[in-house]
Structure 1
Amino acid sequence: MAKPSKYKSQKIEIDGHTFDSKKEGKHYQGLKLLERTGQIQDLQLQVVFVLVDSVVLDGRKKPAMRYIADFVYFKGGLKIVEDVKSKATRRLPAYRQKKHLMASVHGIEIREV
């Protein structure tokens, strides 16, 4: 039996993609419609951004710190990075640090939906 989600979300599959929640899946469907009508371009899912390169500490290699965006697309020539978050996960310290690093390192402000 699968372990229930920490935040009570339910995984859902749409178009062969598995989403962490129904909310994320529904948002994907809305973005696909916007892409089909030409309002956004180049919709990508689960895009990886390196925030801090890997390092060697105390003789051991530590992996790079990464942020994985739920959705990335272009609108009017601007790169938009979106993350589907609940109120609870928006307050998590790890997410807040990654959001800060995305702005600092990549100059990108994450749009939360």
Structure 2
Amino acid sequence: MSKRAPWPMVVPAGTTVVGTARVRDDSRPAMTTAQRRIYELTGNPPQTSALDDVDDNDPFSPRLIVPLAPSARQPKYRNTKCEHNGIKFDSQRERSHWFHLVQQQAAGLISELRLQVPFLLTKRQQRDDGTWERKSTYVADFTYIRDGKFVVEDVKSEATRKNRTYIQKRKQMLEKHGITVKEI
């Protein structure tokens, strides 16, 4: 192993390489990758220390920083939440099915149309150690009566039909209440 040079190492001005290492150009402040991307997108320089001198000609001097809109994470099942007349829907498909059911109710084909109806699956219970187990509920998207029969509908995509929690609750609805959930 070779002996290292004493620290601080002196590098003459204009030197670009020392051994196998590149010498950084300190003529302008270094930016992280994130700062560089923000600068490229918005034209705003990165934030610097308040103690730095502000130079109007320097493209990296601190200016008014316009915050970017928070990046909206894509929903897990790619649904788009929406609202109509103050009613919030988990997806556009659910909203369009609501319109369809409202038309059927207006035509007299169904009655007692309700939205987001909760069903109790298991009540709150106390364990042997004194802690409490939460109650379990299933919230149906739509319920109505067609030809004298109570119908429970849930708007599901192919991916959400495979969700383990949903499958378990669907089975509990059949066992506890005797209701088969109709998937749309």
Q: Same fold per TM (> 0.5)?
A: yes
Distance 2:98 2:84 in 1: 9
Aligned residue for 1:104? 175
State which of 102, 106, 117 in structure 2 corresponds to 1:47.
117
SS at match of 1:26: helix
Aligned residue for 1:66? 137
Unaligned runs of 5+ in 1: none
Aligned residue for 2:107? 37
Structure possessing the higher relative contact order (Cα contacts under 8 Å, 6 or more residues apart): 1
The letter of the residue matching 1:6 is K
Distance 2:169 2:73 in 1: 26
Distance 2:77 2:167 in 1: 17
- The Cα offsets for residues 4-32 of structure 1, whole Å up to 9 and x where unpaired, read as 31111101112321100000000000000
TM-score under structure 1 length normalisation: 0.95
Residue-pair matches, total: 113
Instruction: Indicate whether 1:86 and 2:157 are aligned.
Output: yes
Distance 1:28 1:4 in 2: 24
SS at match of 2:179: coil
Question: Aligned-pair distance for 1:62?
Answer: 1.8
Distance 1:47 1:3 in 2: 28
Q: Which runs of 4+ in 1 moved over 6 A?
A: none
SS at match of 1:51: strand
Aligned residue for 1:7? 77
Distance 1:15 1:111 in 2: 26
The letter of the residue matching 1:50 is L
The letter of the residue matching 1:26 is S
The letter of the residue matching 2:177 is H
Question: Aligned-pair distance for 1:92?
Answer: 1.0
The letter of the residue matching 1:64 is K
Unaligned runs of 5+ in 2: 1-69
Q: Which structure has the larger Rg?
A: 2
**Which is strand-richer, 1 or 2?**
1
Distance 2:119 2:81 in 1: 23
The letter of the residue matching 2:154 is D
Identity of paired residues, percent?
A: 40
RMSD: 1.0
SS at match of 2:140: strand
Aligned residue for 1:95? 166
Distance 2:166 2:143 in 1: 17
**Which is helix-richer, 1 or 2?**
1
